Structure formats: structure tokens, C-alpha cells
């Protein structure tokens, strides 16, 4: 009888875990969370249950809970899935190296875990470690996984390695023969079509490339109103006039921060890499410190009042403390650096706030031909929930024009120095333009900046394969290959 009592909870636990996984797969994560909390005999001590709850936290956009639950599960049981969840957490924050370490631990725990090997390889590719990625999946090439989903992921990874090596025809043949097999989920199919579009572009099959881009963009297109976008920018300009900004609280004075602003695919990653190559500077990637303070400020703001009263309890002492925390975090990331670059895509919107929170900041604004930006955005794979305008050429044109209008406003009202950099001149005349950038951030010239592509810091960006190789000019005028698609768009004026 005693043995019977001990076995019953085990059976119940297995049923609860199986049902919870089914609910998660069905998109019913809230029900799965409730079941795991109430149905497991010891929910706070069940490592597998904690891992499932960490996955739910990931799906629901709760990264802090995701990390906490995964770490708690690992304290109870060393398991590949716990480390892979932590790897995914780090990737969400753009931290490639910590993600790589966690994925490598998962492979060490279970070398036979195909999922762990594939995720580790994907992270290595993001960090530009092509040969290491190929070595990681070598056992899977010899003994492909029986699971169809893992087989598709293996095919995708092999195709990605081929195209990174410039073996585009081999990449296309492998992708078509393996990764595009029936049964792919929508996210898998979207990623595969995006890679296929990129490969076809390299092969000069531009009509087919754009057709694939149209297909994968249509799979996750989010409603976007160009008129509302313009009105939102108008409102931002109205609320950030010179007189209003002068009444904002004052933050923390430091010449450490450098903000790089610009549209995605405009060359911001290249500027980040050039500065990062300087021995007295560093790049923090897409650091989100400003976004976090902006969200905190928005929740505390009373729009019926004028600044500074509108900010409630967030006055100059709080702004100074927040600015100092921002600088401290950069210093902790890059000890000894005299300048640290933040290239967050939100920077353009937040320059008014940054000018008061970090009054010693310098701003580098990168501008590229809107037609090339549009093609690169539509051919890339962005998150439509965050930037819905990246999925259509005409929407990119609207966003480009609005951002340039906002930058003209910042030039007129901000007291911080702003340097405009043209992407086309940057790649055509690096000796002049690179020096101009380094001079602007008040550092002595160093020849290492010309060898920016050899720096070792991993970048999690669509541009990582471009900025990890020597400078090239072939992307200038890229839109000419897509004349049929862009000819129907009313493009904004671009003053070169």
C-alpha cells in the first residue's frame, strides 16, 4: 500500500506535465501556467515544471521571470533545456557571448541533444564564428535527427553556412531540398523564405528574391497607418520644442556616451564597429537604458502639466541618478573606455530626452538613400510587432521621411553636438569619413579603425555578416536591381 501511495503522485505529475505541454503548444499558456502551479505536487521544486513555466514566461514577454525560473530549475537539476532558455534570454537582450556560453553548456551536458547543437550553431553564426558553427553540427550531418522539425532546422543551418561562405548556389539547392520540406511551422517557413530571398539576391535573381520577400513579409504583416505615424512624429516635435526642453530636469554630465541614430540598414552597425575598433572606445550594441527610463517617465507624466511639474516625483535628483546609472552600466560593460557607443534603433526618437538626461552626449546620425534602406528592410527579417513599417516599401518611405524630419528638428533645438554621416560617402571615402567620426568623438586617430572588421565583439544584428568583413561599396544603389518594385513609390527627397 505504501508503494502505491508513492507511485500515484508520479503518475499525476506526468499527466500534468504532458497536459501543460499540450496547452502551451495550443497557445493556451495562461491555462498551462495555472495547471503547473496547482497540479504539480511540489511546483516550486519541480525542475521540469519550472522549465515549462520559464517557456511560458518567454511566450508571454516576461523576460525577468523567464530568467529567474530557468535559473531556479538549474539549481535543482542540470538540464540542457534550462541552459537553452537562458541562452534565449540573453539573445533577447542582444548579448551573444553569454548566450553562446549557455548553449555550449547545454551541448556539454548532452552531446546527443540535436536541439542544443542547432541552437549553439545558430548563436555561433550570429557571432560570426562560421567554422565553429560548422563543427558543432558535424555530428548531425553524419547522423541526421529523425525528428522532421530538427531535420528542417539542420537544413536551414547548413544553407546559412553555405551562403556565409559565398557558396550561394549550394545554399539554395540545400535549402530547397531540405529546409523547405512540407510541415514547417509559420515561423520556420518565414525564416527559410527570408534566407532564400537573401541567397537569390546574391545570385542576381532579383525578381525571385523580391517575390520571396513579399511572401515572408505577408506572413506576419502588422497594420500600419502612415498618416498616424506622421501625426505621432508631429506630436513628438511639438512636445520637445526648445522652450520645453530647457525646462526639463537635468541629468548626469559625462562625455562617455555616444549615441548613433538612423534607420535600420542605414549603416549604424558600421559606425558602431568603426568606433569599437578604436583602442580607447567600445560599442555597447543596442543598449536599452534610454528606453527603460523613457517608459518609466511616460508612466509618471501628467500631460496636463508643463515641464518639469509634469514629471511628478521624477525631478533633477532622480534624473541625475538615472543618468549616472546609465553611465555606470556602460563603464561596467567596458572598463577603461573613454567613449561607448549605443546604436539602439530607438535613439532617434529619444534624442530630446537624452540631451537632458546625458548632457555630455554626442550624437552621430547616419543617413542612407531611402530606396536602398527600403529594399534592405523589406529583404531583411525584422520584428513587425516592433517596426511594422519594415514590411512594405511605401511604409519604409514614410518612416524614412518622418525620421529625417524629426532629425532636422533635433538639429534646430538640441544643444548637444550632432554629426551627420552619409553612408554612401562613408564607404566611398573611408580615410576621410572614418577620421571625421573619430575626431567628432574627440579621440586621437588610430589606424585600427580602418580594420574594423577584425574586431572580436559579437554583434546581434542583420548586418553582422557585412560588418565582419572589409568595407565594400556594392550595396550602394542596390535599389536599381529592384526598379520594378520601387518605381511605383513616391520617394522622399534625399539631399546627399
Q: What pLDDT was estimated at residue 179?
A: 73
Residue from 95, 91, 121, 128 nearest 106 by CA? 121
Catalogue the E-assigned strands of 369-454. Answer: 418-422
Residue 298 exposed, middle or buried by CB count within 10 Å (0-12, 13-18, 19+): exposed
- Asked whether 151 and 179 are in contact (CB, 8 A), the reply is no
Q: What pLDDT was estimated at residue 3?
A: 44
Residue 228 exposed, middle or buried by CB count within 10 Å (0-12, 13-18, 19+): exposed
CA atoms within 13 A on the CB side of 188: 19
CA atoms within 13 A on the CB side of 368: 30
pTM: 0.84
Return the CATH class of domain 227-486. alpha beta
- In the CATH scheme, what is the code of domain 144-220? 1.25.40
Q: Hunting for cell 518605381 — which residue is that?
A: 487
Q: What are the extents of the domains in the chain?
A: 144-220, 227-486
- Asked whether 327 and 269 are in contact (CB, 8 A), the reply is no
Alpha carbon distance 221, 268 (integer Å): 25
| DSSP assignment string, 2-64 | HHHHHHHHHHHHHHHHHHHHHHHHTT-HHHHHHHHHHHSSSGGG-HHHHHHHHHHHHHTT-HH
Alpha carbon distance 321, 32 (integer Å): 41
Q: Is 185 helix (H, G, I), strand (E, B) or coil?
A: coil
Residue from 376, 371, 341 nearest 265 by CA? 376
Q: What is the pLDDT along the chain (496 residues), one digit of tens a residue?
A: 344 444 444 558 899 999 999 999 888 999 999 999 999 999 999 999 999 999 999 988 888 899 999 999 999 999 999 999 999 998 887 778 899 999 999 999 999 999 999 999 999 998 888 999 999 999 999 999 999 999 999 999 999 999 999 999 999 998 988 777 778 888 889 999 999 999 999 999 999 999 999 999 999 889 999 999 999 999 999 999 999 999 999 999 999 999 999 999 999 999 999 999 999 999 988 888 899 999 999 999 998 999 999 999 999 999 999 999 999 999 998 999 999 999 998 999 999 999 999 999 999 999 999 999 999 999 988 888 889 999 999 999 999 999 999 999 999 999 999 999 999 999 999 999 999 999 999 999 999 999 887 765 555 444 445 544 556 566 788 999 999 999 989 898 876 5
- Asked whether 488 and 382 are in contact (CB, 8 A), the reply is no
Cis geometry, peptide bond prior to residue 71 (ω within 30 degrees of 0)? no
Run of H or E residues at 455? none
Q: What pLDDT was estimated at residue 463?
A: 46
Alpha carbon distance 218, 483 (integer Å): 21
Amino acid at each position: 500500500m505504501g508503494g502505491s501511495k508513492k507511485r500515484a503522485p508520479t503518475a499525476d505529475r506526468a499527466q500534468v506535465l504532458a497536459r501543460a505541454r499540450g496547452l502551451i503548444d495550443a497557445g493556451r499558456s495562461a491555462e498551462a501556467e495555472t495547471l503547473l502551479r496547482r497540479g504539480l505536487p511540489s511546483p516550486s521544486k519541480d525542475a521540469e515544471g519550472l522549465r515549462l513555466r520559464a517557456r511560458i514566461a518567454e511566450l508571454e514577454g516576461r523576460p525577468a521571470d523567464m530568467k529567474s525560473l530557468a535559473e531556479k530549475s538549474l539549481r535543482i537539476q542540470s538540464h540542457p533545456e534550462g541552459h537553452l532558455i537562458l541562452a534565449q534570454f540573453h539573445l533577447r537582450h542582444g548579448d551573444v557571448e553569454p548566450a553562446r556560453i549557455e548553449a555550449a553548456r547545454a551541448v556539454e551536458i548532452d552531446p546527443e541533444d540535436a536541439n542544443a547543437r542547432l541552437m549553439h550553431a545558430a548563436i555561433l553564426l550570429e557571432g560570426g564564428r562560421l567554422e565553429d558553427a560548422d563543427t558543432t553540427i558535424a555530428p548531425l550531418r553524419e547522423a541526421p535527427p529523425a525528428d522532421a522539425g530538427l531535420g528542417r532546422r539542420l537544413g536551414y543551418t547548413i544553407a546559412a553556412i553555405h551562403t556565409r561562405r559565398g557558396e550561394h548556389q549550394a545554399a539554395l539547392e540545400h535549402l530547397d531540398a531540405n529546409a523547405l520540406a512540407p510541415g514547417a511551422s509559420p515561423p520556420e517557413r518565414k525564416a527559410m523564405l527570408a534566407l532564400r530571398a537573401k541567397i537569390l539576391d546574391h545570385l542576381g535573381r532579383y525578381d525571385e528574391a523580391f517575390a520571396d520577400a513579399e511572401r515572408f513579409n505577408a506572413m506576419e504583416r502588422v497594420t500600419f497607418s502612415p498618416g498616424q505615424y506622421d501625426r505621432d512624429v508631429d506630436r513628438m516635435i511639438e512636445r520637445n520644442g526648445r522652450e520645453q526642453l530647457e525646462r526639463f530636469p537635468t541629468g548626469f554630465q559625462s562625455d562617455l556616451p555616444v549615441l548613433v541614430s538612423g534607420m535600420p540598414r542605414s549603416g549604424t552597425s558600421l559606425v558602431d564597429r568603426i568606433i569599437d575598433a578604436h583602442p580607447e572606445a567600445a560599442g555597447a550594441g543596442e543598449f536599452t537604458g534610454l528606453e527603460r527610463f523613457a517608459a518609466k517617465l511616460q508612466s509618471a507624466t501628467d500631460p496636463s502639466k508643463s515641464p518639469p511639474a509634469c514629471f511628478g516625483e521624477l525631478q533633477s535628483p532622480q534624473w541625475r541618478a538615472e543618468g549616472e546609472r546609465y553611465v555606470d552600466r556602460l563603464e561596467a560593460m567596458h572598463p577603461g573606455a573613454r567613449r561607448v557607443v549605443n546604436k539602439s534603433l530607438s535613439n532617434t526618437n529619444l534624442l530630446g530626452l537624452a540631451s537632458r538626461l546625458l548632457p555630455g552626449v554626442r550624437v552621430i546620425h547616419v543617413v542612407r538613400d531611402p530606396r536602398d534602406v527600403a529594399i534592405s528592410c523589406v529583404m531583411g527579417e525584422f520584428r513587425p510587432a516592433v517596426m511594422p513599417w519594415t514590411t512594405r516599401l511605401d511604409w519604409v518611405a514614410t518612416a524614412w521621411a518622418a525620421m529625417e524630419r524629426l532629425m532636422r528638428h533635433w538639429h534646430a533645438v538640441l544643444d548637444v553636438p550632432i554629426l551627420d554621416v552619409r553612408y554612401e560617402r562613408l564607404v566611398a571615402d573611408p580615410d576621410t569619413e572614418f577620421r571625421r567620426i573619430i575626431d567628432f568623438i574627440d579621440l586621437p586617430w588610430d589606424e585600427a579603425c580602418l580594420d574594423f572588421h577584425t574586431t572580436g565583439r559579437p554583434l546581434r544584428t542583420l548586418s553582422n555578416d557585412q560588418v565582419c568583413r572589409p568595407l565594400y561599396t556594392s550595396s550602394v544603389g542596390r535599389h536599381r536591381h529592384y526598379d520594378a518594385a520601387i518605381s511605383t513609390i513616391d520617394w522622399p527627397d534625399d539631399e546627399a
